[in-house]
Structure 1
C-alpha cells in the first residue's frame, strides 16, 4: 500500500511542479482560452494544463517501473507502454484543440483512431457477462473497447466547465476505483495491480493540478487534460474488469458481474449523465451533439444561486456518493449501505437546492401576499362614491 501512496505522491508532485512551466508555454504557444458566451470565467486564461498532467503520469510510470512491488508489471508486458503512448497521443490531440479549436468531427475521429490503436495494442475488454469477446470475435472486443474509451473521454470533456470540477470528480472516482482494484489484487499471489497503479497515478495528477486550478484558476486543463483523464480512468477499468474471471473470484467481491460495463459508468456517473442530457437536449433541437450551450449541470448549479466553489464542492459530493456507494457493499451489508446512501442523498439534495429555496421562498411569499391583497380588493363592498360615479355614467334614455 505504501508503494501506491508513493506513486501517487510522485505523480502529484511532478504535475504540481510542471504546471507553472506549462502555463508559460501555453501563453507563448497561443493556447489561451478567450471568454465565450457559455464560459464562466471573465478573463482570458491559458489552457494546455493537460500537458503537465500527462508528464506527471509518465514520470510516475517511470518510477513505478523501478519499484520492487510494481516492476514486475512492466516485464514482458506491453500494456504500460501502449497506455502511455495512448496518453501522449490523446493529450497531443487535446493540445491541437486547445490551440486551434478543432472541428468536433475531426476531434472525434482522432479519439476513435487512438482508441482503436490502444485496443489493437492489447488493451481490450475480453470478457463480458454475456460471454467471452475474444472467443466470439476479436474485432468486437476492439470495438467495445474503443467505444468505452471514446465515451469516457467525451464525458469528462463535457463536465469540464468549472475550476477544479472535472479533476476533482475523476480524482474521487480514482480513489474508489483504486480501492476496488486493490481488493481484487489481494486475491492474486502478488498485490501488484496495474489498475491500482494507474488509478493512484491518476489521483496524483488530479490533486497536483487542482492546486493550480482552484477558482480563480491560473490555468485550465483544456481538452488536453479532460480527454486524458477520461482516457486513463477507462484504461484502468479495462485493465482490471476486462480480464476478470467471475468463476475465480468470490461473488461478494465480483459484484456484479456486469462490472466491465458498469464500473466506468459508476465512477464517471455525473460526467456520463451530463453528456447524455446534453446530447438529447441538442439533438431534440436539431443541433449538433457537440453544439455548445449553457445548460450543463454546472451551469444549472450557478443559475440557482451557487458560487463556483460551492457548485464544485456539491458536485464532488454527488460524485463521491455514487462512486463510494458502489463499492461500500464490499465492506457492509447492503441494507446499511442503502440507508447511508439515502441519508447522504437527502443531505446533498438539501445542499443543492438551498440557494434556490433561500431566494425563491421570499419571492413566493411576496407573490402570495400580492395575490391575497388583490383578492381582498376584488371582494370589498363598493364605496358610495363609486355608486354615484356609476349612476352618472348610466345613459338617461332621452334625446340631446
Structure 2
C-alpha cells in the first residue's frame, strides 16, 4: 500500500461489489426457485408456520451465488485485491460458505436432524480457522478489563463457538417473510460501515480490507434476495441462507478484531478491540435474545433446545396485533437502532449518540406496543 498521505478510501469499490452481489442474487432467485420445486425442497404449511401455501426453499443458494460473484469482482479490482493478497480471510469465507450452504440445502430438502446440522456448522467454522480466520486476543471482564493473548487452540475454540452461535441465532430468527434477509442486510451494512471506519482510522492498513469486503458482499446479496422474500414471499432462504448469513457475520467480526496482536491495555485499545463485537452484538441482540429465550423455554419444558414451537419474538408480535409486514418492519427498526447506534458510538461524540439512541429506543418501543395499548383502551 502507498503512504498514509496517498490513501484514498475505496467506498465506490465496496459499493460496486455490493451492487454486483445484489444483482446476481436477484437474477439467480428465479433459477433456484424452479430448482427447489424440481428437487422437492418445498416448505409445506405446518401448525407453527405463518405461511399458508407451499413455498420453495434453498434461497441461500442464490445468496451464495451473489457472494461468489461479488468476491470475484473484488478480486479483479486493484484496490480491493489487497483483501486477497494479504489475507486468506475471503478465501476462508468462500470455502466455509460453500460447505454451510451445502449442508443447509440438504436440510432444506431432507430436513436433517439437529446433531447433523450442528456437525456441519462446526465443520464450516473449523474451515474458517484453517484459513487463519480466528481470534488471537480476548477481553477478560472479571480481571479489571484486561486482555489476554490466546494460543492457537483457545483462539480456534472461541472462533468456532462464536460462529456456531451466530449461525443458530440467524437460523432461529428466520420465521417471517423477509425477516432474516432484512436483519442480515442491516447487520452486514452496519459491520461494513464500521469496518470502513477502521480503514479511515488505520489509513488503509491491509488488515482492515477483508472485514469490509465480507460485510459489503453479504449486504449486497441480502439486498438482492429481499425483493423475492418480503411479504408476500415467493421463496424462502431456508437453512442454506440463514446459516450462511450467520457464518459470514461471524467471519466479518473475527476478521475485524480477532487478529489484533498488540494491546497496551488503554481504553482506546480496548474500545478498538471490542467495538466490532459491540456492533454485531447490537444488531444480533434481537435474534440472540430470541435464541436464548427459546432454549430456556424448551429446556424448562423438558424438550430439546432445537425443538420447534410458535413462541418466538415474531410470533408474539403477531399475537399483539401487528400484521406480518409490520412485525418484520418493527424488528428491522429495533435492529437498525441498536446496530447503527453502536456504529455511531465508535465514530461520533458518545453523549450525542447516547441521547439519539435513547430517543430511538423510546420511539421504537412505543410503536411496538401500540396495538396492545389500543386493545387495553378499547376494553376499558
Normalising by structure 1, what TM-score?
0.86
**Contact 1:199/1:236 (8 A) holds in 2:** yes
Partners of 1:249 and 1:329 lie apart in 2 by 20
CA-CA distance at 1:83 after TM superposition: 1.4
Distance 1:177 1:30, change over 3 A: same
- Is the 2:279–2:343 contact (alpha carbons within 8 Å) kept by the matching residues of 1? no
In the alignment, which residue of structure 1 is the partner of 2:376? 360
What is the match of residue 43 of structure 1? 53
Structure (1 or 2) with the larger CA radius of gyration: 1
Helix, strand or coil at the partner of 1:291: coil
TM-score for the superposition, normalised by structure 2: 0.91
Separation in structure 2 between the aligned mates of residue 260 and residue 328 of structure 1, nearest angstrom = 12
Deviation at 1:38, TM superposition (A): 0.8
Asked whether the 8 Å contact 1:128–1:260 carries over to 2, the reply is no
Q: Tell me the residue number matched to 2:93.
A: 83
CA contact (8 A) 2:89 2:210 kept: no
Is 180-189 or 43-52 further displaced after alignment?
180-189
Distance 2:45 2:339 in 1: 33
Superposed counterparts of 1:94-133, under 5 Å:
94-130=104-140, 131-133=147-149
CA displacement 1:131-159 (0-9 Å, x = unmatched): 4444xx21111111000000000000000
Say whether residues 1:346 and 2:356 are aligned partners.
no
2: distance between equivalents of 1:105 and 1:49? 23
Output aligned runs, 1:1-400, within 5 Å: 1-75=11-85, 77-130=87-140, 131-134=147-150, 137-190=151-204, 193-245=209-261, 247=263, 255=271, 257-259=273-275, 261-363=277-379, 365=380
Equivalenced residue count is 362
Over 3 Å counting, the alpha-carbon distance change for 1:76 and 1:185 in structure 2 is closer
Unaligned runs of 5+ in 2: 1-10, 141-146
Q: Over the residues paired in the alignment, what is the CA RMSD in angstroms?
A: 1.9
SS of match in other structure, 1:129: strand
Moved more, 18-27 or 70-79: 70-79
Cα distance in structure 1, aligned partners of 2:190 and 2:22? 18
